[in-house]
Structure 1
Amino acid sequence: MTGTVRCVLAAVGVLGVIGVLAGPVAAAQKRPPGVPPGEVAIPVAGKTDVATSNGPLRVLAPHGPFGSARAVIVMVSQGPRTTVRLKVTGVGRTAAGRTFGAHLHTGPCVAGDGAAAGPHYNTDVINGHKPVRVDHEREIWLDFTVGPSGAATASTAVRFVPRPGDRAVVVHEHATDHHGTAGARLACLPLSWD
């Protein structure tokens, strides 16, 4: 190793140590109210909750394209915002190119019993607001279009956090219209939110 390389490495090491020491000192000098002198305030994000479900879709209507389908859903809330991602695989090839509505419902997912899932989870209904508005801001809509391989994905973000409970993500026969309707209930995936 040449003398020049050693000098450069030593300088980089010294600058690194200065940076490590200077960072907390600078932070302590601009500490928020309530943080004692000599201590560093570390910002922490708001509470985060995560719910996931992964498995075969439960069939609600016989002879549909979801008999062999599986799904994964991940729902993450942080502060007043919730992000939801859905991936469906194994949908029958005859459904390629079709769009299906999918929504979070208030009740559980019970194979063969679409009514058990209850209505859509709607924040106006849950909070007793009138008139009840039905849209993608007050409900979780995850419409998806099936690709040639039988797979589809969907995601959405809303400005609310669902209340705890056993819920269902229900797949409907048609794409969701502007009234929030999407036809018959074909399949569902359970999702528990604590």
Structure 2
Amino acid sequence: MPMPRALIGSALASLLLAGCGGADTTDANDTPATPTGTEPAPSPENGGGDEAEFSPIQVSGTWEPYSPDATAITYDDAVPEGKAVDVEVQPEGDAGTRFTLTVRGLEPDRDYGSHVHTKPCGKDPADSGPHYQHNADPEGSPSTNPAYANPENEVWLDFTTDGEGNAESTATVDFRPRQGEANSVVIHENHTKTGPGEAGKAGDRLGCVNVPM
């Protein structure tokens, strides 16, 4: 007897469902297959971490009175208006940094202090905040403990000008400034002190260069 059409249709549907249901979307270890054309999400292991690549920085300007757009701000006649200043920040080795400060036309044959500070330059000399410290003094800032206020944990760029008021100072440290936590280079009136209770002090702030790092 011929099979009823309803039964034939049901049998065919069962065969089709069996064929579709047999497709496997996992590998031999039951790991879901990655769809074709997609890539793994970025992660520190595959080079997609959040830490930005350190790039060289170069800032050049001339000293001028404060304005919101000023690159180099003078607060004292010992840093004369219109004279040039340059700051370079370069990676050194795998994790170090080299800083170079070049000044022209300051007072001749004079000692100046200089450090990297945490905040941008402002209208008030104190606006640039304390020195940047790679390992911060737990007692807070300003830090005068030589265990923290020293040229290995901070960036000191003290210099002495020549007979024409020119100088270049270089400091190399074994760290990279944390992004956004170092923003200026400040010129001080004296070379930096190193003794207990006065370490890091260098007198009044005479000028400030905006160097966001």
Please report the TM-score for the alignment, with normalisation by the length of structure 2: 0.61
Answer yes or no: is 1:192 the counterpart of 2:203: no
Amino acid at match of 2:186: V
Q: SS of 1:102's equivalent?
A: strand
**From 62, 72, 83, the counterpart of 1:56:** 62
Can you list the C-alpha shifts for 1:62-119, whole angstroms capped at 9, x where unaligned? 433332322111101242100111110122xxx2111100100000022x32111000
**From 40, 46, 69, the counterpart of 2:83:** 69
CA distance in 2, matches of 1:172, 1:187: 7
CA distance in 2, matches of 1:168, 1:134: 17
CA distance in 2, matches of 1:48, 1:61: 31
Higher mean Cα deviation, 129-138 or 145-154?
129-138
Sequence identity (%): 30
Answer yes or no: is 1:120 the counterpart of 2:136: no
Q: Which has the higher strand share?
A: 1
Higher mean Cα deviation, 58-67 or 95-104?
58-67
CA distance in 2, matches of 1:66, 1:119: 24
**Structure 2: gaps (5+ residues):** 1-52, 64-71
Are the equivalent residues in 2 in contact too, given 1:54–1:73 (CA < 8 A)?
yes
Sort the Cα spacing of 1:60 and 1:71 in 2 relative to 1 into closer, same or farther, 3 A: closer
CA distance in 2, matches of 1:157, 1:99: 20
Sort the Cα spacing of 1:152 and 1:123 in 2 relative to 1 into closer, same or farther, 3 A: same
Sort the Cα spacing of 1:61 and 1:158 in 2 relative to 1 into closer, same or farther, 3 A: same
Are the equivalent residues in 2 in contact too, given 1:56–1:189 (CA < 8 A)?
no
Higher mean Cα deviation, 96-105 or 128-137?
128-137
Are the equivalent residues in 1 in contact too, given 2:76–2:207 (CA < 8 A)?
no
Structure 1 residue 123 displacement after superposition: 1.1
Sort the Cα spacing of 1:49 and 1:106 in 2 relative to 1 into closer, same or farther, 3 A: same
Are the equivalent residues in 2 in contact too, given 1:104–1:140 (CA < 8 A)?
yes
Q: SS of 2:136's equivalent?
A: helix
Structure 1 residue 186 displacement after superposition: 0.3
Count of paired positions: 142
**From 85, 89, 96, the counterpart of 1:81:** 96
CA RMSD of aligned residues (A): 2.2
**From 185, 195, 212, the counterpart of 1:169:** 185
Are the equivalent residues in 2 in contact too, given 1:68–1:90 (CA < 8 A)?
no
Are the equivalent residues in 2 in contact too, given 1:120–1:139 (CA < 8 A)?
yes
Are the equivalent residues in 1 in contact too, given 2:74–2:81 (CA < 8 A)?
no
